[in-house]
Structure 1
């Protein structure tokens, strides 16, 4: 349980680059979710103008929840605590006074798609693709549902959640508002991110903070509702069918 990392590097321009990584396709066990939310909160310091959220490597952005940890759950309280980790991260992004930019270089599954949805502005390479696999393991994408519905709408969220074995490509994600910019390669994506950030570095920080607050208007109830949804996920993850499905997925 000590694998993986979260680190923050602040550039001279004031960009806080938060990077997370895990050997299992950048999946997120609870200790990494906790670190990720803490790093996002810490990046609210005055020297920071923008936050860039990215993952390690060049293939998978984030495989979502840690299957090892889901299989180790013993009671509903532990289940709620685990899924609350995703709620902590989403709320940390929502509460941050800084605009959070997402960098998606590859596939995103489950909670990884939720991270993309929580970002204020999201870049992707053409290698990026998204999938909500929760229904196929007999649970559901409950905690990340509000972030996704807010970003892509109910119809597109329904399409994602009820097609749990299908990867939807980066252009589908862009058409439906999950991604704002798709570039042919990772190199071109990084160049586009640099250009985007450079246009904002010298803008009035108070104006950017006010815009951030405007973008998230009407979501204060997430302070409670996301944790209520974590209770549902935690209970379902303990179900015998869910545990069997998780074991089958892990053995593939």
Structure 2
């Protein structure tokens, strides 16, 4: 098994109707194609399961929520079609979150980079720790946060998105992310975070499911074109990843890890 093929996605439904969807990859919870596919599938399945009332989206470990795209896999992309297919994986996860009739609560215990910020933004409510700094590093490797940009801008606005994008090598604090609207709540540690998530979910599952579904539709008004929008953005990223600039930047990054 290659390093790219590592990792897993699991889904557990509790007796109160909360579905916890969790992902893990040994490389800082980065997301290669096979995990993106499983994540989107798990979100879609939970959304149509009558036993599920609320979805919790989380990752394993305590340091990094999600490092975004798998750089190992990006290095293996050889043509535009391959590139588009890879970035479509992120589009599929965002659209699965958007279309799900169930509210999605994201538990962000650590740093979020690139696509990880997109996952947080695609949730309906986001709870984090003070260690959950964020960064959009795409511009530094010659691409851009094209696929995730609609979700991120929807939460933080264009000025904050621009700051994240242009300051591609700088982390912004969890408090900054809360002030801009990405995080709804920020806690001191994981223990406090998990207590808050449980408290929130216990309240949500006690509410009228029909009201929650109607609220979900309201939250995502004006996004019906995202299937085609994100597909077009995936094509842009898929072409840019083939550039000499990006290939060299990825090589430098991967070499520095060894």
Q: Is the 8 A contact 2:139 2:168 kept in 1?
A: yes
Structure 2 gaps of 5+ residues are none
1:1-48 deviations in Å (ceiling 9; x for gaps) = 320000000000010000000000000000100000000001021100
- 2:200 paired with 1:227: no
- In structure 1, the residue matched to 2:36 is 33
Structure 1 gaps of 5+ residues are none
- 2:158 paired with 1:151: no
Q: Is the 8 A contact 2:5 2:32 kept in 1?
A: no
- 2:46 paired with 1:46: no
User: What is the TM-score of this pair, normalised by structure 1?
Assistant: 0.99
State how far apart, in whole Å, the 2-side matches of 1:179 and 1:9 are: 24
User: What is the TM-score of this pair, normalised by structure 2?
Assistant: 0.97
- 2:245 paired with 1:241: yes
State how far apart, in whole Å, the 1-side matches of 2:116 and 2:191 are: 21
1:116-161 deviations in Å (ceiling 9; x for gaps) = 0000000000111000000100110000000011110000000000
Q: Helix, strand or coil for the counterpart of 1:101? A: strand
Q: Which runs of 4+ in 1 moved over 3 A?
A: none
1:233-252 deviations in Å (ceiling 9; x for gaps) = 00000001110001111122
State how far apart, in whole Å, the 1-side matches of 2:114 and 2:18 are: 27
- In structure 2, the residue matched to 1:125 is 129
Q: Is the 8 A contact 2:136 2:145 kept in 1?
A: yes
- 2:244 paired with 1:211: no
1:167-216 deviations in Å (ceiling 9; x for gaps) = 11110000000000000110001001111111111110000000000000
State how far apart, in whole Å, the 2-side matches of 1:248 and 1:33 are: 25
- 2:164 paired with 1:167: no
- In structure 1, the residue matched to 2:18 is 15
